[in-house]
Amino acid sequence: MVAAIAMVLGGASAQAQNAYITNGDSNTVSVIATESSKVTATIPVGTKPVGVAVSPDGRHVYVANNGSNTVSVITTENNTVTATIPVGMKPFGLAVSPDGSHVYVANHGSNTVSVITTESGAVATVPVGTNPFGVVVTPDGSHVYVVNNGSNTVSVIATASNTVIVTIPVGNFPTGAAVTPDGKYIYVANQVSFTVSVIATARNMVTATIPVAVNSFSVGVAVTPDGSHVYVANFSPNTVSVIETASNTVTATIPVGGGPVGVAVTSDGSHIYVANESSGNVSVIATADNTVTATLPVGFAPKAFGLFITSVDHS
């Protein structure tokens, strides 16, 4: 499947990494060491944590607390919350800029994106579409794509001015999104259309629509580091769809736990981690053969919506 072959089965990747899993009904984050496939820490955060994103240097993890309208900042060196930042209403997805200077938070309840300056903690506010859900930043940091599931659109924010420069129609009730490593395409999961929209960033328009499973109610999306495949978490049938980007077709469907929401890829592309909200666990998929190699219990209602895997080495 992916060029990178799993070096160790059971959920470990070649590089020591941690997966940070938000537990929506436990108000905690579970830290999974990918080398051992074990939970090594449990961190109290705000109320109803959902979204999660890691800084490029791996030193911080940002958690969107949907129930307390805040973002918790976790310092990974000691896995403690070192700051709590007020944002808009019902924050959901969030993403960090490639240089780590800003965090973009989709506020589902206030139709805005909060822009946090990480050095100072200052917050700016950008109006977007109705009920923003997922958010991704392009690899060059120039644009932010915000998925609005109440208006079936994606807002494109120019980071230089913090203004929306274009609004792109997609499918019904879009949720998660992911950007390819070259920044050329955004893959958006449309929960009620049972499709994935492919946006070409050069033209900011949908260039392909990919059917996934019927009644899939897809949520999280992740792209492999080589850009060859996209993994989509399908909440209803408890599966993950694998899309081959060369043809934009689904080439495999993988059974996982109950109600998968968040999905992320290890840095070497060897494993996919999937947070299963309904079954309270995390499925680990080996990309070499697209099989589940481990199922790890975590807290209640894990969501981990976003890019939640980071390197352990911060030197």
**Distance between CA 199 and CA 220 in Å, rounded?**
16
How much is the pLDDT for 25?
98
* Residues whose CB falls within 8 Å of the CB of residue 54, separated by 6 or more in sequence, listed in order: 20, 60, 61, 62, 76, 96, 307, 308, 309, 310
Element housing 224 (H / E): none
Q: How long is the chain?
A: 315
Q: At 108, list the tokens.
A: 């589902």
Q: Is 214 exposed, middle or buried (0-12, 13-18, 19+ CB in 10 A)?
A: exposed
List, as one string, the DSSP characters of 272-297. EEEEETTTTEEEEEETTTTEEEEEEE
Q: At 122, list the tokens.
A: 């200052």
How much is the pLDDT for 315?
53
How much is the pLDDT for 214?
86
Q: What is the pLDDT of residues 115-145, one digit of tens each?
A: 999 999 999 999 999 999 999 999 999 999 9
Closest listed residue to residue 50, CA positions, set 78, 76, 21: 21
Consecutive 10-residue averages of pLDDT for the chain (315 residues) = 29 72 98 95 98 97 98 97 98 98 98 98 98 98 98 98 98 98 98 97 98 93 98 97 98 98 97 98 98 98 97 68
Integer CA distances (angstroms), 274 to 54, 233, 292, in order? 16, 7, 10
151-156 LR contacts (CB < 8 Å, sep 24+): 152/190, 153/129, 154/129, 154/186, 154/188, 154/199, 155/113, 155/128, 155/129, 156/204
How much is the pLDDT for 7?
28
Can you list the domains of the chain with their CATH numbers? Answer: 17-311 (2.130.10.10)
Say whether pTM exceeds 0.85.
yes
Angle (CA) 94-97-100 rounded to 5° is 110
Closest listed residue to residue 192, CA positions, set 125, 253, 131: 131
Phi/psi region, residue 209 (left: phi>0; alpha: psi -120 to 50; beta: rest), is: beta
Three-state DSSP string of 67-91:
CCCEEEEEECCCCEEEEEEECCCCE
